[in-house]
Structure 1
Amino acid sequence: MKILTANALASIQDSGRFGYRSMGVGKNGVMDSWALQAGNALVKNDLNEPAIEIALGDLTIQFEEDVSFCLTGALYEAYLDDKRIPSYWRINAQAGQTLKLLRPLQGMYSYLCVHGGFDIEPVLQSASTNLKAGFGGFEGRYLKADDILKVRTAASLPVIGVARLVPTRIIRVIKSSEYERFTPSSKDAFESQQWKLQSSSNRMGYRLAGTSPLELIEPTQMSSHGVDIGMIQVPPQGQPIVLMADAQTTGGYPKIATVINADIGLMAQIRFGKTCQFVIVDLEQALREQQKRQHYIDQIEEYAHEN
């Protein structure tokens, strides 16, 4: 596959790099892991097979071999040559055809998964791109014009489609370690108000703005401690930051809550300028929702392997 144009932020990502946070190496990986798994299940791959993560712009690719592929995550306006193609469908491309992704119509991050996967050499047991350190993925950077990606398997599979997870701006969270240090009015405001995603957000963190800043009962001095994706930190100005896939390994701000694993992908797909609302759930519900997500992936795998 040859990249013809790349105005989007496109990088190679899998589910992430695990076991190296104590050395200061972040997890990285996809912003929406459920979309990655759904795509890989649909094209009969291992669920962790690396894909191209695409955000905020257009991307044009020329296929140099016959390939079965799908697009998941954000709904892109996409064309195979001049034919419009839908997301969450397994599509066959022939050598010489061109895939044009013009713009996301809904959501932020889309995933291009190909049957057989991309031939990417793992670094620290992951193919994910660490953009800050410049390693992993394709030369440790975003894709650009004239890059060539090797596909392991040239094949055509039956064309099928599956349902996608219904997008929502209601994001479920569990209380975090410093929740009780916030004032009662801040606890109420955290759940009751709409939080707008700021354009300064990125793969490291989603910066939110609300009309009622969150306040601590009394000033709190905290030592740096381990942090991870989904944790919601509250800096002194009271506007929360949701840590995302490229989050740092340590932080010192108090944490009011953590986005549940089932909803991280939903959080990732919120567009700049749009709002979300947090709802606190207990650990038991968080685990039930994760099981529902896993059942969704299992269903796609079963259907894809039957077709």
Structure 2
Amino acid sequence: MTLTVLKPGPLTTVQDLGRDGYAALGVPHGGACDPLSLRLANLVAGNDEGAAGLEITLGGLALRFDAKTTFAWAGATMQVTLDGAMLHPAHRYTAGKGAVLRFGFAERGARAYLALAGGIAVPPILGSRSTGLLAGMGGFHGRALRRDDVVECGRAPRQVPGVAVAQPERGEHLRVLPGPDWSLLGHAAQRQLLSTPWQVGLASNRMGMRLTGAQLECDASDSLDSHAVMPGCVQLPPSGEPIVLLADAQTTGGYLRPLVVIRADLWRAGQFKPGDTLRFAEVDSDAALAALAAQRDWLARVSRSLAWEAR
């Protein structure tokens, strides 16, 4: 089965859950900026939750199905239509040959995920089908989709349409833990970092969200020796305006790391777009582990429920 891109939107890429175990070689983890929405779309479509799908940044994608296809989408709030009929997120649908799927521009959130039954059939590189834009690696020829691209999908068992799941709420807070360099901030800067309503800047991308709203002062030099970083690290560059690292974050850096977004909220970080406002909410390690366990339990319940529906 194939689909043809009619309009690619600002940035549409093939993504799965990323590449584990290659950071020591300088390879970013990559994968979906909102892994929870990709997992959900895949489960609803009848796939393994780690199958490759399309990450649609800010909307604007239009494509044509070249054969009968089962699919689902999840993530940002957008007007999504199939041959003009409105579609809901986290619902399973079937498109006929020649049907056209259109994503309007994001009203709330930044990224939507389209899962096709059988997944996107691009060759895996280092164990992942994700697109690494900076390296031109993986995904669809290592790049974002363009008009007239023909994307191949895998084969999947017949799925019955009509399945639906409620999406989780994003909210306006990111829960954080103190980072390795938290103590290098003065008390005033610590309070300001946690109390400021930060605005997501225009220079944000899949590597990180650049925040504006205050200029923090720290009690350390402008930079440190190079050290490991990963998605979720909050860096503080010399400008005093934080950067929240996202899926395509580099593997090393030299800026202060005052905070780390908890793993259960990484999907939320991937759904803020330029102009949005966010706040940091400090939690302890017990709360962070409990949030991750609750998220995993929710996904497991969704998976069991969908498996029951398929019987």
Cα distance between partner residues in 2 of 1:286 and 1:231: 15
Matching residue's letter, 1:96: G
Matches within 5 A, 1:108-123: 108-123=110-125
Matching residue's letter, 1:298: A
Tell me how large the CA RMSD over aligned residues is: 1.2
Matches within 5 A, 1:54-203: 54-153=56-155, 155-203=158-206
Cα distance between partner residues in 2 of 1:117 and 1:270: 26
Does the aligned pair in 2 maintain the 1:67–1:156 contact within 8 Å?
A: no
**What corresponds to 2:27 in structure 1?**
25
Cα distance between partner residues in 2 of 1:220 and 1:242: 17
Residues 11 and 238 of structure 1, relative CA distance in 2, 3 Å threshold: same
**What corresponds to 1:208 in structure 2?**
211
Residues 146 and 183 of structure 1, relative CA distance in 2, 3 Å threshold: same
1:110 aligned counterpart, secondary structure: strand
Query: What is the CA distance between 1:299 and its match in structure 2?
Result: 1.7
TM-score normalised according to structure 2 size: 0.95
Cα distance between partner residues in 1 of 2:75 and 2:86: 17
1:261-292: per-residue Cα shift (whole Å, max 9, x none)?
A: 11111111112111101011111110110111
Q: 1:49 aligns with which of 48, 51, 55?
A: 51
Matching residue's letter, 1:104: A
1:57-113: per-residue Cα shift (whole Å, max 9, x none)?
A: 311111111111111111221110010111111111111111011211211010000
Does the aligned pair in 2 maintain the 1:92–1:159 contact within 8 Å?
A: no
Matching residue's letter, 1:192: S
Does the aligned pair in 1 maintain the 2:208–2:245 contact within 8 Å?
A: yes
Listed as ranges, the gaps of 5+ residues in structure 1 are: none
Does the aligned pair in 2 maintain the 1:193–1:210 contact within 8 Å?
A: yes
Cα distance between partner residues in 1 of 2:159 and 2:290: 36
What stretches of structure 1 move > 4 A for 4+ residues in a row? none
2:150 aligned counterpart, secondary structure: coil
**What corresponds to 2:300 in structure 1?**
298
Does the aligned pair in 1 maintain the 2:170–2:268 contact within 8 Å?
A: yes
Matching residue's letter, 1:205: G
TM-score normalised according to structure 1 size: 0.97
Cα distance between partner residues in 1 of 2:27 and 2:273: 28
Does the aligned pair in 2 maintain the 1:66–1:156 contact within 8 Å?
A: no
Query: What is the CA distance between 1:36 and its match in structure 2?
Result: 0.9
Cα distance between partner residues in 2 of 1:107 and 1:294: 22
Cα distance between partner residues in 2 of 1:139 and 1:38: 26
Cα distance between partner residues in 1 of 2:201 and 2:191: 22
**What corresponds to 1:238 in structure 2?**
240
Matching residue's letter, 2:280: F
Matching residue's letter, 1:177: P
